[in-house]
Amino acid sequence: MSAWMVGASVLVALLVPLGIAAATRTPGDGLVALQLAGTVTTVAVLLMAVGLGREPLGDLALVLAVASFVGSLAYATILGRGP
Amino acid sequence: MSAVLVAAAVALLALCVAGVLLVPGPMNRLHYLGPAPIAVLLACAAVLVDKGASTIGLRAVLIALFSLATSSVLSHTVARALHHRREDDA
């Protein structure tokens, strides 16, 4: 297994505690965990694209970065408005 | 060289995750999102070192630029939302 895939595997494993934190803690904590999970996922997909030799996955990483930003921004706006 | 950059990026993101999980309070946790764009930059540098000016290298540059440009905006928005929420709770 190459360094790219080892790194991607570690990053995917790091998503598990972030997902648990987002699901079980307060909405504010969940939003912070969601924001970091977006970054972790983007890097993981980029490393997979190189490790697997499939360059189209690089496009997916770029789209994921944009979608993660827009999604987190939307959640933050909704959270700021209150219940 | 690229393996070192990948290891540094993964280690930095692991530290960010540890900080977000272990530090109490969402405002304090928000501080640990700061180094995340640097980790993205390291990963994208690893891709550039290994693949050079290729299609995936261009994608890596775009991801790094986008991450650097938007992370501060997003952190500010999240911090403001948490602040408003805390005021509402009080």
State the pLDDT at residue A13. 94
Q: Is residue A76 pLDDT above 90, yes or no?
A: no
Q: Is the pLDDT score of A82 beyond 70?
A: no
The pLDDT assigned to B87 comes to 60
**What's the pLDDT at B14?**
94
Is the pLDDT at B88 greater than 60? The verdict is: no
CB within 8 Å: A36 and B17: yes
Residue A46 pLDDT level (bands cut at 50, 70, 90): very high
- What average pLDDT score do residues A54-64 get? 88
Q: Which of residues 31-60 of B touch A (CB under 8 A)?
A: 32-33, 36-37, 39-40, 43-44, 47, 50-51, 54-56, 59-60
Q: What does pTM read for this prediction?
A: 0.89
Q: What is the mean pLDDT of residues B43-66?
A: 89
Q: Write the residue in B3, B43, B62 that is nearest to A43 by C-beta.
A: B43
* Average pLDDT score over residue span B52-76: 89
C-alpha to C-alpha distances, A70 to A4, A35, A58, A77, B33, nearest whole angstrom: 27, 10, 19, 11, 17
pLDDT digits (tens, 9 = 90+) for B2-41: 889 999 999 999 999 999 999 888 888 888 988 889 999 9
Taking an 8 Å cut-off on Cβ atoms, the answer to whether A76 and B32 are in contact is no
Q: Please answer yes or no on whether A3 and B6 come within 8 Å at the CB atom.
A: yes
